[in-house]
Amino acid sequence: MFARTRKLFAALLVGALLLGAAGAQDTHGVAPLDPVQKVRVAYVPILKFATLYVAADRGLFAQYGLDVDLESVASGTEAIAFLEQGQIDVGGIAIVTSLWNGWNQGIDIRVFAPGGLEPFVDSPTKVLVRKDLFDSGAVTDAGDLRGRTVAFAGGPGSGGEYLTAKALEAHGLTIRDVEIVSLGNADIPAAFENGSIDAALLGSPYADQVEEAQTAVAIATDLVPGLMTVAFVGSGKFLNERPDAAERFALALLDAARLMQGDDYYSPENIAAYLHYVNSTEEAIVNGTPVLYDPNLTIPVEGLADVERVHRENGRTDYEAPIDLNVVISTVFAERALAAAGTYQP
């Protein structure tokens, strides 16, 4: 089905995996599926889906009787197409405008577990302005960006636009008050250097790069503390016809999150899992600010409602009335996982 597929840990290896890399994890009284069930996953290779990588490489899916195939995709749009066609069961994707429009049109996909959440403090994602504009006093906060060029990756309706809009909203502005420039993250540092943009939204490592080069200065940080802009979504067929597999998939993600709290985030086993699926380095991961991985697997419903509101008010959706979140989210699988595991105790 996919160009390349990683076949991960058949159930016959469960015992070895549990006693090895996974460290004999507790299954919380939940029996593994018998026979083993295959789950097909498409994911965008970013660290906000790190619970997926840890659950795969540390044997957590296998211990619940799941044989998980992972395939990286370039964008959430590609994964959505696979979900609609029934070629995959789960997608690790950003919640972008095309997905909101799909839900409005009746697409049978539901958010059933959270991806990584924005840090409450010291988020690596920030709005920066060209240093000469900051030094002159022309732009000292996001409220001074009216009429200026602001760059971000992804274009209209993207997660980058949402975060930029939140920075502007805090000062009474909207996306319509600035001139949008769509640039890849890797191209923005050069745009700052040659003066072709005034401001930009950047995350690690590019934000660090422009600050160290003294070509830009941060003017808006911690834009959406604790918010979820990416999620694990399941096809209606998977969630409705194989609820036992969906519940165990969520439980494996919860177990993974609990193996990633505090300093354990940097354990050798976890670092190896991250680097297996994401094009990064151990140095970059260790020196960067990690996003949050909720050990209770709570889906921040109010935050998702805000994402929808901003895109809708920006005119990026093909509908005008607020969408019914019951067609967007299914919390039952995360809730069952938490009921089985109990509330996390540090």
Domain boundaries, the chain: 6-117+227-341, 126-220
Query: Using an 8 Å Cβ cutoff, are 41 and 89 in contact?
Result: yes
- CATH homologous superfamily for 6-117+227-341? Periplasmic binding protein-like II (3.40.190.10)
Instruction: Compare 200 and 84 and report the one with higher pLDDT.
Output: 200
Mean pLDDT of 325-343: 96
Which residues are bridge partners to 202 per DSSP?
126
Q: Would you state the pLDDT for residue 25?
A: 65
The strand pair at 90-94 and 230-235 is best described as antiparallel
Q: Tokens in use for 16?
A: 């070895």
Closest CA to 37 of 198, 202, 241: 241
Which numeric CATH code is attached to 126-220? 3.40.190.10
pTM of the model: 0.83
Q: Would you state the pLDDT for residue 311?
A: 94
Q: Would you state the pLDDT for residue 284?
A: 81
Longest Cα separation, the chain? 67
Q: Would you state the pLDDT for residue 171?
A: 97
Dihedral Cα 261, 262, 267, 270, nearest 10 deg: 30
Degrees, nearest 5: CA angle 40-244-265: 65
pLDDT tens-digit map of 133-186: 999 999 999 999 999 999 998 888 888 899 999 999 999 999 999 999 999 888
Residue with tokens 């943009």: 197
- DSSP codes of every residue in 131-162: HHHHHTTS-SSGGGGTTSEEEETT-TTSHHHH
CA distance 142 to 2: 43
Please determine, for residue 1, whether its predicted confidence score (pLDDT) is greater than 70. Answer: no
Which residues are bridge partners to 216 per DSSP?
130
CA distance 226 to 116: 9
Closest CA to 200 of 286, 139, 265: 139
Q: Tokens in use for 80?
A: 């959505």
Q: Percentage of the chain surpassing pLDDT 90?
A: 73
Please determine, for residue 97, whether its predicted confidence score (pLDDT) is greater than 70. Answer: yes
Degrees, nearest 5: CA angle 205-174-184: 30
